[in-house]
Amino acid sequence: MGAALTILSICLVLLLLVALRRFLISRASVPCRLSAGTRGWRSGVARYSAGELHWIPLWGVRLRPRHAIARRGLTVSARRRIEGGLWAVDCGEVSLAMSEDAMTGFLAWLESAPPSSHLDPSPHR
């Protein structure tokens, strides 16, 4: 009886931690899939900050973003419809997939960048 109660308590704590993590990363964010390199689509959420888009995976321990995509110098090279009614955009080395509404928000965020932010951030010699 004691071992079963211990296992049940551990499972309950783990479930609460997963629920808390999902709650914390879902605030002020939009569902977004990410594909980098040859890896397939991974589910996560995207958050907009002043000059970066932060992508946080749904599954994992860390609450910090796994990818931070700088708006400065970012260009969308292609946009296409994929399975599940999502739209995908190629942004350099990564591709993002999101709903049509989220895509509209992403493109508006990208276009609202300050003047000259599209320029290459590397210094010219």
Q: pLDDT (tens digit, 9 = 90+) per residue, 1-57?
A: 788 889 988 888 888 777 766 665 556 678 899 998 787 899 888 988 878 888 888
CA distances (Å), 8 to each of 21, 60, 114, in order?
20, 22, 53
What number is the average pLDDT over the span 74-85?
85
Sign of CA dihedral 118, 52, 98, 42: positive
Q: Identify the band that residue 125 occupies on the pLDDT scale cut at 50, 70 and 90.
A: very low
The topology under which CATH files domain 2-111 is PH-domain like (2.30.29)
Closest CA to 90 of 72, 103, 101: 103
Token readout for 92 is: 């350099």
Share of the chain above pLDDT 90, in %: 18
Domain ranges (residues) in the chain: 2-111
Give this prediction's pTM. Answer: 0.69
What number is the average pLDDT over the span 86-107?
90
- Give me the chain's average pLDDT, please: 80
Q: H helices of 1-125, where? A: 2-26, 100-111
